[in-house]
Amino acid sequence: MKKIVECVPNFSEGKDQEKITKIINSIQMRNVKLCGVASDPAHNRTVVTFAGEPDEVKEAAFGAIKTAAEVIDMSLHVGQHPRIGATDVCPFVPISTSMQECVQIARELGERVGRELEIPVFLYGEAAVTEERKLLSSIRKGEYEGLNAKLALPEWKPDYGPTRFNPTSGVSVIGARPFLVAFNINLNTGDVIVSKKIAAKIRESGTMIEGKRVPGTLKTVQALGVFIKERNCAQVTMNLNNYNITGLYEAFEEVQREAKRLGYEIMDAEIIGVVPKAALVEAGRRWTKKDFGRELSEVSLIEMAVKELKLRESYGADFRSIVLEYILGV
């Protein structure tokens, strides 16, 4: 069986299609499978998912980072999503290879990006060399606007590349991690305070109450509340960092519970990028046990999950377009 690695770079451009196309074209110059492109104008961000053999994926990622640095000017960037660079984050995910090989790819790419492109690079996740840099949120704290001051601190010396602030490209965060499911839920209100309250209640890190941190209800989940101008709605945007611990079913149900408590409903939801088949199958199985108490086929379970998660509003009946195994043909 071939070694397969997935790469999910996030670029700080979600509006200018010409720039996005140039980045995608640089990826497709290599022998990799383009699995998905999700651009969000409100977040002003594009998430690209591609997969292939390790060396090809690494080369495609370098080409994309180089192109992004050429077409994106971070000094002009405005968007809802936290960001710190033109190629904001570039994780490698093992599909049919080891996590250690993904760590090696991340470190080799980080060194090359720092050396050849002169972009400061932080390593994160399983590739991090210090505990303080394992979490992407820790590296992103202060965002692009605080980057100049952050790079001046000895404890925030980049792992690779120059220590000086690059106002055009910012920095890139490169790493290795398990499969992450990016899951957004839109509410039937334009009040962003509602989504912020829900995010604070559910995310693992919780929130500060009377000077004390109160943990959230969902393990391995990061969440933010944002406003989506194009749809005039509040959104709970989540990263399910380990869907075997907290899956789509649990995340959806918890957001729904909190939304109802505040007097609102879920309007619809979306998955950014792709999702492993197992994550949808398990979600469907949970609803089957809840409502019917009978076993269904794998495809039926996925169809049920898509329906109950209110994903059809985003994808219709074409759920195969977001399932990794169907895209790769494995």
Q: Mind listing the pLDDT tens digit for each residue in 110-131?
A: 999 999 999 999 999 999 999 9
pLDDT tens sequence across 180-228 = 899 999 999 999 999 999 999 999 999 988 888 999 999 999 999 999 9
* Domain 181-328: assigned CATH number: 3.30.70.670
Q: Determine what percent of the chain is predicted with pLDDT higher than 90.
A: 75
Which are the catalytic amino acids? 81
CA distances from 264 to 34, 188, 229, 232, 261 (A): 37, 6, 18, 15, 7
Q: What is the pTM of this model?
A: 0.77
CATH 1.10.10.10 fits 5-176, yes or no: no
Residues of the chain with CATH 3.30.990.10: 5-176
Does residue 326 surpass a pLDDT of 60?
Answer: yes
Q: For position 153, what pLDDT does the model report? A: 94
CA 171, CA 68: separation in Å to the nearest integer?
A: 12
Dihedral of alpha carbons 60, 32, 302, 39, sign: positive
202 close to 221: Cβ distance less than 8 angstroms: yes
Q: Tell me, letter by letter, the H, E, C secondary structure of 135-192.
A: CHHHHHCCCHHHHHHHHCCHHHCCCECCCCCCCCCECEEEEECCCCEEEEEEECCCCH
* Per-residue pLDDT reduced to its tens digit, 270-308: 998 888 899 999 999 998 876 555 567 888 899 889 999
Label residue 1 by pLDDT band (50, 70, 90). low
pLDDT for the residue 197? 97
Ranges for all domains in the chain classified under CATH 3.30.70.670: 181-328
Question: Which residue is it, tokens 């971070």?
Answer: 74
CA angle 302, 246, 315 (to 5 degrees): 35
DSSP state of 213: E
